[in-house]
Amino acid sequence: MSEVESPAATAPLSTAPLSTYETSAAVIAGREAAFEARGLTKIYHMGEVDVQALRGIDLALYEGEFVVLLGPSGSGKSTLLNILGGLDIPTAGSVRYHHHDLTAAGESALTRYRREHVGFVFQFYNLIPSLTAEENVALVTEISTSPMRPDEALRLVGLGERLHHFPAQLSGGEQQRVAIARAVAKRPSVLLCDEPTGALDVRTGIVVLEAIERINRDLGTTTVVITHNASIADMADRVISLSDGRISGVKHNTTKKSPHELEW
Ligand code: ADP
263 located within any domain: no
Distances (CA, A) of 123 to 85, 161, 229: 16, 23, 14
103 located within any domain: yes
Q: What is the pLDDT of residue 30?
A: 66
39 located within any domain: yes
The b-or-e profile of 89-116 (16+ CB within 10 A means b, else e) is: ebeebebbbeebebbebeeeebeebbee
261 located within any domain: no
Model pTM above 0.85: yes
How long a stretch of residues is the chain? Answer: 264
- The torsion angles phi and psi of 168, rounded to 5 degrees, stand at -65, -15
Q: Which position has the higher pLDDT, 50 or 10?
A: 50
1 located within any domain: no
111 located within any domain: yes
Cα(197) to centroid(ligand 1), Å: 19
Provide the residue range defining the domain that includes 177: 7-256
Q: How high is the mean pLDDT of the chain? A: 88
Q: What is the pLDDT of residue 25?
A: 42
CB 85 within 8 A of CB 192: yes
Convert the pLDDT of each residue in 148-158 to its tens digit.
999 999 999 99
79 pocket-lining for ligand 1 (C-beta < 6 Å): yes
Q: Which mutation among 44, 80, 226, 247 tests ligand 1's pocket best, with the greatest number of atoms within 8 A of CB?
A: 44
39-48 mean pLDDT: 95
Q: From atom 16 of ligand 1, which residue's Cα is the shortest distance away?
A: 74
Convert the pLDDT of each residue in 187-221 to its tens digit.
999 999 999 999 888 889 999 999 999 999 999 99
56 located within any domain: yes
Distances (CA, A) of 136 to 98, 128, 154, 209, 249: 30, 7, 10, 21, 38
262 located within any domain: no
Q: What is the total count of domains within the chain?
A: 1
CATH code (residue 45): 3.40.50.300
Q: What is the pLDDT of residue 111?
A: 94
